[in-house]
Structure 1
Amino acid sequence: MRKHGLAVAGICVLLVAGTACSDTKAGSGGNGQSTPGASSSQSSTPGASNTPGASTTPSESAAAAISVVPAKGATAVQPDKPVTVSTTAGKLNDVTLKDDDGDKVTGSFNTDKTQWTSAALLKPNATYTVSGSAEGTDGASVPISSTFKTLKATKSLKASVVPLNGETVGVALPIQIYWNNPVKDRAAVEKQLSVKTSVPVDGSWHWVNSKQVNYRPKNYWPAGTKVTVNIDTQGVNAGNNTWGTSSRTIAFDIGKSVVSNVNVKKHVMTVTINGKLARSIPITAGKDGFTTRSGVKVIMEKFPTKRMDAATVGIKPGDPNYYNISDVRWAQRVTSSGEFIHGAPWSTGSQGSANVSHGCVGMSLKDAQWYYNQTLRGDPVIVTGTSRHMEPGNGWTDWNTTWATYKAGSALS
Structure 2
Amino acid sequence: MSRWGMRAVGALVVMVLASSCTSGGGSGDPAEQEKAKDPLTITASVENGAADVPVDSVVTVDGFDGQLADVTLASADGATTIPGEVHGVRWTAGQLLEPATTYVLTASGTGDDGRQVTETSRFTTRALSLDEQTYPAVAPLQGETVGVGMPVIVSFDIAVKDRAAFEKRMKVTAQPATDGGWYWLSDNTAHWRPKKFWKPGTKVTVDLGLNSVHAGNGIYGQQDQHVEFTVGRSVVSVVDTRRHRMTVKIDGKARRTIPVSTGDADHRSRNGIKVIMEKHRSIDMDAATTGVDSDDPNYYNLKGVKYAMRVTNSGEFLHAAPWSAASQGNANVSHGCVGMSTKDAAWVFAQSKRGDIVSYVGSPRRLEPANGWTDWNRSWDEWLEGSALGADAEDA
* TM > 0.5: yes
For residues 277 and 32 of structure 1, do their structure 2 counterparts lie closer, same or farther at Cα, with a shift above 3 Å needed?
Answer: farther
Q: 1:303 aligns with which of 252, 273, 280?
A: 280
Aligned residue in 1 for 2:55: 79
Aligned residue in 2 for 1:221: 198
Aligned residue in 2 for 1:146: 121
Aligned residue in 1 for 2:74: 98
Instruction: Determine helix, strand or coil for the equivalent of 1:349.
Output: coil
Amino acid at match of 1:84: T
Matched, 1:280 2:257: yes
Aligned residue in 2 for 1:156: 133
For the 8 Å contact 2:142–2:229, the answer to whether it is kept is yes
The CA deviation at 1:54 is 9.9
Amino acid at match of 1:87: G
**Matched residues in 2 for 1:272 and 1:36: separation?**
98
Aligned residue in 1 for 2:349: 372
**Matched residues in 1 for 2:222 and 2:279: separation?**
33
Query: Rg bigger for which structure?
Result: 1
For the 8 Å contact 2:136–2:222, the answer to whether it is kept is no
For the 8 Å contact 2:161–2:216, the answer to whether it is kept is yes
The number of aligned residues is 372
Aligned residue in 1 for 2:65: 89
Aligned residue in 1 for 2:318: 341
Matched, 1:137 2:112: yes
The CA deviation at 1:331 is 0.7
Aligned residue in 2 for 1:9: none
**Matched residues in 2 for 1:81 and 1:316: separation?**
53
Note the alpha carbon deviations across 1:177-204, whole angstroms, 9 max, x for none.
1112111111111111111111111111
Instruction: Determine helix, strand or coil for the equivalent of 2:376.
Output: helix
Q: 2:210 aligns with which of 221, 233, 258?
A: 233
For the 8 Å contact 1:204–1:410, the answer to whether it is kept is yes
Q: Give percent identity, aligned residues only.
A: 44
**Matched residues in 2 for 1:253 and 1:146: separation?**
45
**Matched residues in 1 for 2:111 and 2:289: separation?**
74
Amino acid at match of 2:63: T
The CA deviation at 1:316 is 4.1
**Matched residues in 1 for 2:306 and 2:226: separation?**
35
Instruction: Determine helix, strand or coil for the equivalent of 1:74.
Output: coil
The CA deviation at 1:259 is 0.6
**Matched residues in 2 for 1:336 and 1:56: separation?**
82
Aligned residue in 2 for 1:174: 151
**Matched residues in 2 for 1:340 and 1:171: separation?**
19
The CA deviation at 1:246 is 2.2
The CA deviation at 1:244 is 1.8
**Matched residues in 2 for 1:54 and 1:364: separation?**
96
Matched, 1:250 2:227: yes
Instruction: Determine helix, strand or coil for the equivalent of 1:290.
Output: coil
Note the alpha carbon deviations across 1:103-151, whole angstroms, 9 max, x for none.
111211114xx22111222223322211131111222111121122223
For the 8 Å contact 1:78–1:150, the answer to whether it is kept is yes
Q: 2:270 aligns with which of 274, 279, 293?
A: 293
**Matched residues in 2 for 1:215 and 1:388: separation?**
27
- Residues 348-359 of structure 1 correspond to what in structure 2 (within 5 A)? 348-359=325-336
Instruction: Determine helix, strand or coil for the equivalent of 1:34.
Output: helix
**Matched residues in 2 for 1:316 and 1:245: separation?**
40
Aligned residue in 2 for 1:404: 381
**Matched residues in 2 for 1:100 and 1:273: separation?**
56
Aligned residue in 1 for 2:365: 388
The CA deviation at 1:233 is 0.7
Instruction: Determine helix, strand or coil for the equivalent of 1:307.
Output: strand
Aligned residue in 2 for 1:198: 175
The CA deviation at 1:38 is 8.2
For the 8 Å contact 1:343–1:364, the answer to whether it is kept is yes
For residues 78 and 33 of structure 1, do their structure 2 counterparts lie closer, same or farther at Cα, with a shift above 3 Å needed?
Answer: farther
**Matched residues in 1 for 2:90 and 2:8: separation?**
40
The CA deviation at 1:57 is 4.9
- Identify unmatched segments of 5+ residues in structure 1: 1-27, 41-52
Highest RCO, 1 vs 2 (Cα 8 Å, sep ≥ 6): 2
For the 8 Å contact 1:79–1:150, the answer to whether it is kept is yes
For residues 64 and 222 of structure 1, do their structure 2 counterparts lie closer, same or farther at Cα, with a shift above 3 Å needed?
Answer: same
Deviates more, 1:393-402 or 1:334-343: 393-402
**Matched residues in 2 for 1:186 and 1:376: separation?**
31
Q: 2:42 aligns with which of 54, 59, 66?
A: 66
**Matched residues in 1 for 2:383 and 2:70: separation?**
46
Amino acid at match of 2:166: V
Aligned residue in 2 for 1:4: none
For the 8 Å contact 1:84–1:115, the answer to whether it is kept is yes
Aligned residue in 1 for 2:12: 34
Note the alpha carbon deviations across 1:148-177, whole angstroms, 9 max, x for none.
222333501211122212211111111111
The CA deviation at 1:312 is 2.7
**Matched residues in 2 for 1:30 and 1:182: separation?**
69
**Matched residues in 2 for 1:327 and 1:233: separation?**
41
- Identify unmatched segments of 5+ residues in structure 2: 1-5, 19-24, 391-396
Instruction: Determine helix, strand or coil for the equivalent of 2:350.
Output: helix
For the 8 Å contact 1:67–1:87, the answer to whether it is kept is yes
For the 8 Å contact 1:124–1:243, the answer to whether it is kept is no
For the 8 Å contact 1:82–1:117, the answer to whether it is kept is yes
For the 8 Å contact 2:42–2:107, the answer to whether it is kept is no
